Structure formats: C-alpha cells, structure tokens
Amino acid sequence: MAKIYYDKDADLNLVKDKCIAILGYGNQGRSQALNMRDSGVKNVIVGNREDESYEQAKKDGFPVYSIEEATSMADVIFVLLPDEACPEVYDTLMKPNFKKGVLLNFASGYNLTFHNIELPEDSDVVMAAPRMLGQGVREMYLSGEGYPAFLAVAQDVSGKALEYGKALCKAIGATKKGTIEGNIDDETYLDLMTELGILPLIYKVFAEAFRLEVEMGHSEEAVLTEAYLSREMAFLWEQAAERGLFRQLCLHSHTAQYAQLKRFGEADGQMIRGFLKEAYESIRSGAFNQEWKDEQKVYKLAHLDELREKALHTDVTKAEDRLKERLK
C-alpha cells in the first residue's frame, strides 16, 4: 500500500532558506512559485525566456533571469518545462551551469522514465507532480483545500532526498490534501495511459454517439446538450471524485441507475481491455516515446497539426460551434 504524506510529515525548514529556481513560468510554474512564496519560502527566483511569462513573473514580484543564470544561482531547481522542450534546454542551458549538489525536482516523470536526460551524479533528484492543472494548484491552495500529488525519488545522493521531496510538496501545498509516494514510472505510465488509452476511448464514444443519435433523427442541439454541453457530465465526474465512481450513482434516478449498471455489465470489456493493453505496451516498449521524438525532430509536428485540424473539422466540433453561436 502506497504511503501518503501530510503537512505533519514534512519539514519546510529543509528548503525555506534555499534559493529555489522555477524554470518555466507557465501555468504550473506560476502557481507553484506563488504557493511557495506564500508558504514562507524566502528566495524563489524564476528562469524563463523573454516572453509573456517572463513579464508576468516580473509583475508577480519575482526576480527573473535567463534559464542559464537562474540555474547557476539555484540550490533547488523546479524543472517545469514542457516534456518535449526539456531535453534540449537541459543539455544546453542547465547542465553546464549546475551548482555542485543542486537538488532537482521534476513535475513530470516522462524524460526520467525514458532516459531522455542524463542526471548529474552528485545531485538528489525527486519528482513532485501535482495531480491538478496549474490553475487548480493555485486556487485549491488559496481555498485551503489543497490537492493531491505524486512524490518519487529518482536519485538519492544525500540520503535525505525523500525528506527534501516532502518539504517541496508541502511548500507548493500538496501535503494539505495528501502526497502519494510512488516511483517515477507510476507518473509517466499512468499519465500516458490516460492520454493514449482512456481519453481517446471517451472521445470516440461521444463522437460515435453523436453520429448515431443525429442519424436516428434527434437534433444536434439536443444531443450535444444531453451529452456534455449542459455540464451535467462534468458534475457527474466531480461527484465521482468526491464520492466514488459508483457511489455517485445515488444522485441518479432509479431508472438511470438500472440502465447504467445493466449496460456496464454487458459492455465488451475484452475489446476495451485490448485497446488499453496496446496503449500500455507502446509505453512500456518505448515505442510511443520514439514516435513522439520522431514527430518533433523529423516531422516538425506536421502530423500533430494534421490531427488537430482534423479534430476541429469533425461533425461534433462543427455542431458545437453552431450551437454555441446560437446560445450567446
């Protein structure tokens, strides 16, 4: 059973006087930097290229530097760069400028799992990965509720890497709700399984249901509203998070409960499991990692652009646009 750490289990004193650099002031970077400052961490700096995020960090009152400068100053580095950009930035801008013994914290396990970067031999390396979008990281910190996170140790040179990791989780507000200890691959595999397996199935179900129901003579306005535009589905998933996947059924009518549970038992689990197993194997074998590398380096994201363009021209998207225009 995985260990879960709370505020009482973490010592903020381990990190509050250190120079902590946030590399990448996007949604996660901004929220985590603000949370740390509000938690009492005294020396938070930002490393970012000169763009809108750079200017936002200055407006938020943080000392802002180039990635090279921030790296050279930091005792602790939060690597909050996009997965695809991280290896090049790491090799060219970060690695030559590390302090000896710098503590590295990654918010994603992707590049660690697939060995896309080479870790410094004299550094503790941890992963504090919020299971929440960047905006939610800030909002749930301010509300006092907190949010869950994964914590893993990739490299323990000092013998205190786990304690440092817990302290960093506390600083960003993740031990309020509960920080779950695991390993790097947990975060990578489960995150990619959502993206390669679960969400594609959900999108496909909605798209096929839309086509079928419209073909059966129902208006596209009624189909989309019933499916998700009313936000009833969003409320359902929120309640699933609070109560449990099946315990939230108590909020439904008896008719709805019977229909859902009956058809749940009849759905072809083997077909779905086969699709999911294929996704998992593409992660475990490294095939997806290589495919994604090729997409970036060889094809320059041309296939991604094609896929996005195709998605934006589906019958579902066109119907959404028509309905939203009329509902304004």
Per-residue model confidence (pLDDT) at position 142: 98
Phi, psi of 106 (to 5 degrees): -105, 140
Distance between CA atoms of residues 50 and 45, nearest Å = 15
Q: Which residues contact 165 (CB under 8 A, 6 or more apart)?
A: 105, 126, 127, 128, 151, 152, 153
Distance CA 124, CA 122 (A): 7
Whether residue 159 is found in the same domain as residue 212 = no
Residues 211 and 163 in one domain: no
Q: Are residues 138 and 241 in the same domain?
A: no
Residue that finishes a domain, picked among 150, 181, 212: 181
Q: Are 141 and 171 in contact (CB under 8 A)?
A: no
Question: Same domain, yes or no, for 216 and 112?
Answer: no
Q: What is the rounded average pLDDT of the residues 6-33?
A: 97
Angle in degrees, 0-180, between the axes of helices 52-59 and 27-39, rounded to the nearest 10 = 20
Domain boundary among 146, 181, 216: 181
Dump pLDDT digits (tens) for 192-244.
999 999 999 999 999 999 999 999 999 999 999 999 999 999 999 999 999 99
User: What's the CA gap between 25 and 100, in Å, rounded?
Assistant: 24
Judge if 28 and 161 occupy the same domain: yes
Let me know whether 155 and 52 are in one domain: yes
Which residue range is the domain that position 323 belongs to?
187-327
Same structural domain, 71 and 167: yes
pLDDT of residue 315: 96
Please tell me the pTM assigned to this model: 0.91
CATH number at residue 151: 3.40.50.720
| Statement: residue 328 has pLDDT above 80 | no
Do 192 and 99 sit in the same domain of this protein?
no
- The pLDDT of residue 220 is 96
Domain identity same for 31 and 107: yes
pLDDT at 182 over 80: yes
Alpha helices in 244-314 (DSSP H): 254-266, 269-284, 287-297, 302-311
Answer yes or no: do 238 and 96 share one domain.
Answer: no
Provide the pLDDT for residue 22: 98
User: Would you state the pLDDT for residue 295?
Assistant: 97
Q: What is the mean pLDDT of the chain?
A: 97
Number of domains composing the chain: 2
Reported as a single tens digit per residue, the pLDDT across 278-297 is: 999 999 999 999 999 999 99
Phi-psi region of 7 (alpha: psi -120 to 50; beta: other; left: phi over 0): alpha
Mean pLDDT score, 100-107:
97
Rounded-to-integer distance, Cα 77 and Cα 44, Å: 10
Question: Does residue 192 sit in the same domain as residue 258?
Answer: yes
* Residues 132 and 17 placed together within one structural domain of the fold: yes
Residue 327 confidence (pLDDT): 83
Is the pLDDT at 322 greater than 90? The verdict is yes
User: What pLDDT score was predicted for residue 157?
Assistant: 98
Angle at 302 between CA 301 and CA 305, to 5 degrees: 85
Domain boundary among 164, 181, 198: 181
Q: Mean pLDDT over residues 129-144, rounded?
A: 96
